[in-house]
Amino acid sequence: MSAVIDQLDLSESRTHTNRPQADLMERVILRNEGKLVANGCVVVNTGDRTGRSPKDKFLVDAPQSRDNIDWGKVNQPMTEAQFDIALDIATKYINSQNDVFVFEGFTGADLSHRLGVKVITTMAWHSLFAETLFIRPGSASDAGDGSWNHDWTVINAGVHKLTKEEQEALGHNGETYIAQSLERKVVVILGTEYAGEMKKSLFYAMNYDMPDVGVFPMHCSANIDKNDPTNVALFFGLSGTGKTTLSADENRALIGDDEHGWGPKGIFNFEGGCYAKVIGLTREKEPQIWDAIRFGSVLENTIVDDDTRVPDYDDVSITQNTRVTYPVDFIPGAQIPSVGGHAKNVIFLTADAFGVLPPISKLTPEQAMYYFINGYTSKLAGTEEGVTEPVPNFSPCFGGPFMPRRPSEYAGMLSDRMKEHNAHVWLLNTGWSKGPAGEGGERFSLPYTRAMVTAILSGALDNAETVEHSVFGLHMPTAVEGVPSEILNPRNLWADKAAYDTQADKLAKLFRTNDAKFDLSDAIRSGGPKG
């Protein structure tokens, strides 16, 4: 541990460690960091940063880990000297504050593969976020004896924005800076109050540390059949594909909604809570999430009526990335502790705005590796300046921004577990059919998608008859209970079949352009589009 960390003033008179939930909520309100909502939770504002700042995140380039890192736009290198400067800036800021809040807990519900974390913040709501999202010793999510060990430290001085002099010292143009050292096991956050930086930095840590102990780290949700503990399912997907929605099932127990490990004993949640989007939230669409927003939860950047104190989940005047954090045991019937057996089904989710991919496909081992490494979904026209038509969004392993190692290493771990445990792998398109988004296309019906998931998890499709997609070679079931058979082949739904073929060829070429970035074996490359 660096001598600079030892310089942090964590004296008892100014430090609040693992304060009770009610105490933290009271401090959030008294310190004017947030407001009480009618349903009992608190709502906070994250300032000018309402999402992660990937361009401002850097990783120490150290000899011990250098050859293991997939350096590039995601994993941007920094020097040890720059890290020391960032650490010194954060230390001086924290030492200048009257109050320091410390959370001591864990990431990893499996007792054999967990990391002890210390989260040091200057805001009460950041500590409440950590207490809600990570595993608190002695809580329902902690399967241990309540003892704590220390592996990783997060120093969150995000309220402090870098001065021009500090930017010059760091060689960085901007007020925000997130620095991470795999060797020192320390994260420093400066210039952003967005709490997701703490969550994802520790996920990044698990994604580096776990492979060395035989655990496959995954950006996915997971659930388990309430009546069959051997029936575990994983849902991989980028934002907006339905990962949280589809894993919330009244007939299945939620293991977790975002980050998991697949170890020698099975699946386990990295976290003790959930971090769900609440844009457009209704009780009818998401009853479990709706009911989880109560005392102990933290709403971020959500507009609340000043008189009634009722949140308006349709108001996105601050950001579309409105979120809530709550303990996983707020979900009725959740799997506590958050562990399960080996996965029987692995589901890749994509929201294809081109209107090309089938709503459900069973993947061969080669296709599974291909689609995992490419990690495809779509950005929609109008979501970003200059985007006038659907734009492909490829993120390796369905979580590229959080993966320090090379995609092929994670893909190899998935392949090994698929073979060892005879897991079935599926591709579900939760996007558009009948045409592209914004050009006559319609979003696939959620009840139909849920029916497909039900059929997968029941085993009804394990040996189902399939037909092969003419361009992508995907194996499309010809019948799924509760789903009109004509929608299972997307070409059937396009009035202009030639236009469909043109669009399919276009998307296939985009896949091939993206897969050229990776050193894939001929077998894995054969899992992609034909031609």
Is residue 433 in some structural domain? yes
Is residue 136 in some structural domain? yes
As for how many domains the chain has, the answer is 3
Q: pTM for the full model?
A: 0.93
Angstrom distance (rounded) from CA 218 to CA 235: 10
pLDDT grade for 381, boundaries at 50, 70 and 90: very low
Whole-number percent of the chain with pLDDT over 90: 86
12 and 138 within one domain: yes
442 and 405 within one domain: yes
Angstrom distance (rounded) from CA 290 to CA 332: 11
Angstrom distance (rounded) from CA 447 to CA 100: 47
The pLDDT assigned to 216 comes to 98
Residues 6+ apart with CB under 8 A from 137: 18, 104, 105, 106, 144, 146, 147, 148
pLDDT grade for 239, boundaries at 50, 70 and 90: confident
396 and 278 within one domain: no
226 and 355 within one domain: yes
Is residue 205 in some structural domain? yes
Displacement of CA 251 from its chain's centroid (Å): 23
Is residue 43 in some structural domain? no
The pLDDT tens digits for 470-512 are 999 999 999 999 999 999 999 999 999 999 999 999 999 999 9
Residues 6+ apart with CB under 8 A from 526: 366
Angle formed at CA 288 by CA 285 and CA 290, multiple of 5 degrees: 70
Q: How far is CA 202 from CA 147, 334, 523, in A?
A: 20, 23, 34
The pLDDT tens digits for 406-456 are 999 999 999 999 999 999 999 999 999 999 988 889 999 999 999 999 999
Is residue 45 in some structural domain? no
178 and 85 within one domain: yes
Is residue 288 in some structural domain? yes
The backbone torsions φ and ψ at residue 204, rounded to the nearest 5 degrees and listed phi first, read: -60, -40
More confident position, 384 or 300: 300
The pLDDT assigned to 136 comes to 93
Is residue 336 in some structural domain? no
Angstrom distance (rounded) from CA 462 to CA 423: 10
User: What 3-state DSSP class applies to 348?
Assistant: strand
Average pLDDT for the chain: 93
The pLDDT assigned to 384 comes to 43
Angstrom distance (rounded) from CA 145 to CA 111: 10
The pLDDT tens digits for 59-88 are 999 999 999 999 999 999 999 999 999 999
Angstrom distance (rounded) from CA 89 to CA 10: 16
Give the range of the structural domain holding residue 362, as residue numbers without chain letter: 217-263+342-525
The pLDDT tens digits for 127-167 are 999 999 999 998 888 888 878 889 999 999 999 999 999 99
Is residue 432 in some structural domain? yes
Residues 6+ apart with CB under 8 A from 252: 223, 224, 225, 226, 233, 457
The pLDDT assigned to 483 comes to 97
295 and 233 within one domain: no
175 and 227 within one domain: no
Angstrom distance (rounded) from CA 494 to CA 496: 5
Whole-number percent of the chain with pLDDT over 70: 97
126 and 93 within one domain: yes
204 and 224 within one domain: no
Which CATH number does the domain housing residue 306 bear?
A: 2.170.8.10
pLDDT grade for 33, boundaries at 50, 70 and 90: very high
Residue with tokens 């930095």: 201
233-256 mean pLDDT? 90
The pLDDT tens digits for 314-362 are 999 999 889 999 999 999 889 999 999 999 999 999 999 999 999 999 9
Tokens of 357: 């991919």
Cross-strand pairs, 157: 190
Which CATH number does the domain housing residue 435 bear?
A: 3.90.228.20
**What type of residue is 338?**
S
Q: In 358-464, which ranges are E strands?
A: 360-362, 376-379, 391-394, 424-429, 432-433, 442-443
Angstrom distance (rounded) from CA 259 to CA 241: 16
358 and 258 within one domain: yes
303 and 155 within one domain: no
Q: Which residues are catalytic?
A: 52, 200, 219, 239, 243-244, 258, 323
The pLDDT assigned to 380 comes to 56
336 burial via Cβ count (<10 Å: 0-12, 13-18, 19+): buried
Q: Count CB-CB contacts under 10 A for residue 245.
A: 23
Tokens of 339: 């562990």
Residue 81: enclosing H or E segment and its boundaries?
A: helix 80-95
